Amino acid sequence: MKKIIWLIFLFILLFMLSACSAVIKAVLEEEAESSEEVSLEVKQPTSKVQSDNFSVQDLFSTTLFKEDPALLQFSRKIEKRIAEFDPNFKVLYRGKLDWDTFLVQLNDIHNLISFVNPYTAGYILDFDWEAKKKDNGYLVEFTFTYLTSAEQEKKIDAYVQEFANSYITDEMDDFKRAKTVNDYIVQLATYSKEDVAMGQAVNELINEQTGVCQAYALLAYRLFLAAGLDAQYVYGYSYNQLHAWNLVSVDGHWYHIDTTWNDVDPNEPYAISYEYFLVNDEKLSKDHLWVKENYFAATSNAYDFMHDMWYADTVGNVIYYNSINDSMVYAFDLATKQTTQISETSCYYLAAFDDAVYCSDYDNAGYLTKIDVNDGSEKVLLEEEVLNLFIDDNGVLFYETIDGEEYSQTL
């Protein structure tokens, strides 16, 4: 009897071991199969957040100018001397502000000047002051250090005029003028990760092709004006940091354009986004903070369709782009205002030429892929992950492989 029980136990044990072995084998085979599949994360724009540590009370309000016109005149006198790159000068203030409130405004002089002339305010690298009560007012001696010079600004004036002569034509409508400026600045520069004291000057953005938001917004301000558009320089917060962008008037309506945030990534020099192009106050308020009473209200949503465009390239009147919402490829015809889906492919680093889109296909290991815009057919040109695609005016495609090597081929 004991022998029979032992045999039954042994049979059960062998059965369990056999079953366990089959399970382990199946798991190992599944892991082997999955290891052969390339898994690439779907790329998304960097998440933007509201400024939690600041409020509008931390920013200058032009209400103070309305309540005390003498402060505005005081600021205009300072701006005039800054425009002449005067390093040391004195200005007398006679107005309504008491001593303590006046001292607070002196420390915020850069922002006072921004509302007199935002571009001139961009000259300032650093400043110091000494104030004393005199002649029924406050006499202030300023010492300024400048980011630029009169000679450099003459070159920038010529640069801005050359831009207008080369890129702006009489038949352009306001939309195309605004888009031309946005695209030009995004393609010109990459965002600087250096100390905030660096990269603030427009001449650095032009000469070094790198800068911070102040330089982006100031150059955009100059180019918008040169393109025949009314524009403002907006000062506020984002990411719990000081930030700058622009307001632009298009067909009689004001919109925000943040060229810094339309420049997708410093490591992606050719990528253009329209997520922050012609945006109204409601949308921008989700991740930007500014004193709205200082600026024109932006209420129109006429160009909300642009905000889904990421990794975009324009050929003639057609914008080809990767959708933020579904990562697929679309074409938007500027003439007919119609959107057409080109492909279901997750197509990044997109560049367009003639009747084709070239991209890194992240549904297929990031391989260099050509997509026909007429029928959506695809052809793999290189079985290797690529990035930073760009096509020059001669039809030469430039791209990088994931190891940083650079290549080109004539299309």
Q: What is the CATH number of the domain that holds 359?
A: 2.120.10.30
Whether residue 19 is predicted with pLDDT greater than 50 in this model: the reply is no
HSE of 288 in the Cβ direction (CA atoms, 13 Å)? 23
Residue 32 placed within a domain? no
% the chain with pLDDT above 90: 74
Q: What's the CATH code of the domain at 198? A: 3.10.620.30
Question: Of 84, 111, 146, which marks where a domain is finished?
Answer: 146
pLDDT (mean) for 19-30 = 38
Asked if 225 and 83 sit in the same domain, the reply is no
Using one digit for the tens of pLDDT, what is the confidence trace for 179-188?
Answer: 999 999 999 9
Q: Please tell me the total count of domains within the chain.
A: 3
Same-domain pairing of 102 and 185:
no
According to the model, what pLDDT value does residue 192 have?
Answer: 73
**Percent of the chain predicted with pLDDT > 70:** 86
- Categorize the per-residue pLDDT at 329 as very low, low, confident or very high, splitting at 50, 70 and 90: very high
User: Is 273 a domain residue?
Assistant: yes
Region 123-138: mean pLDDT is 94
**The pLDDT of residue 15:** 40
Buried b (16+ CB within 10 A) or exposed e, 195-204: eeebbbbbbb
Q: List, as own/partner pairs, every contact residues 122-130 make where C-beta atoms lie below 8 angstroms and the sequence separation is at least 24, other chains included.
A: 122/147, 122/148, 122/200, 122/201, 122/202, 122/214, 122/215, 122/218, 123/82, 123/83, 123/85, 123/147, 123/148, 123/153, 124/82, 125/197, 125/200
Q: Are residues 183 and 139 in the same domain?
A: no
Same domain, 181 and 227: yes
The band of 39, judged by pLDDT with boundaries at 50, 70 and 90, is very low
Do residue 163 and residue 264 come from a single domain?
A: yes
Using alpha carbons, list the distances in angstroms from residue 282 to 213, 225, 259, 264, 289.
21, 25, 18, 22, 11
pLDDT at 94 > cutoff 80: yes
In a domain, 86, yes or no: yes
Q: Which residue has the higher pLDDT, 108 or 172?
A: 172
Task: State yes or no: pLDDT of 367 exceeds 60.
Answer: yes
330 with 372, same domain: the answer is: yes
Q: Which residue has the higher pLDDT, 135 or 118?
A: 118
Give the model's confidence band at 3: pLDDT under 50 very low, under 70 low, under 90 confident, else very high.
very low
Claim to verify: residue 228 and residue 331 sit in the same structural domain: no
Residues in the chain: 411
Q: Where are the alpha helices (DSSP H) in 168-267?
A: 174-188, 202-208, 213-226, 259-262
Domain boundary among 259, 277, 299: 299
Q: pLDDT tens for residues 392-402?
A: 989 999 999 99
Higher local confidence (pLDDT), 404 or 190: 404
Q: Report helix, strand or coil for 241.
A: strand
Residue 239: pLDDT band by 50, 70, 90 thresholds?
Answer: confident
Residues 328 and 223 in one domain: no
The pLDDT of 154-160, averaged and rounded, is 97
Domain end, chosen from 254, 277, 299, is at: 299
pLDDT for the residue 18: 40
User: Two tokens at 114?
Assistant: 């921004």
* Structural domain containing residue 318: 303-411
Q: Is 35 part of any domain?
A: no
Has residue 23 been placed in a domain?
no
Nearest one of 58, 131, 124, 120 to 97, comparing CA atoms = 131
**Distant-in-sequence contacts of 122-126, Cβ < 8 A, 24+ apart:** 122/147, 122/148, 122/200, 122/201, 122/202, 122/214, 122/215, 122/218, 123/82, 123/83, 123/85, 123/147, 123/148, 123/153, 124/82, 125/197, 125/200
* pTM of the shown model: 0.85
Is residue 166 domain-shared with residue 124, that is, in the same domain? no
Q: Is the pLDDT of residue 338 over 50?
A: yes
Residues 132 and 164 in one domain: no
- Together in a domain, 386 and 410: yes
Let me know: does 321 contact 343? Beta carbons within 8 Å: no
Work out the end-to-end distance of the chain between its first and last CA atoms, rounded to an integer number of angstroms: 85
- Asked if the structure places residue 8 within a domain, the reply is no
348 plus 292 within the same structural domain:
no
Q: Is residue 351 part of a domain?
A: yes
Residue 84 located in a structural domain = yes
Per-residue model confidence (pLDDT) at position 21 = 36
Segment 116-145 shows an average pLDDT of 95
CATH code of the domain in which 84 resides: 3.30.1370
Q: What is the mean pLDDT of the chain?
A: 87
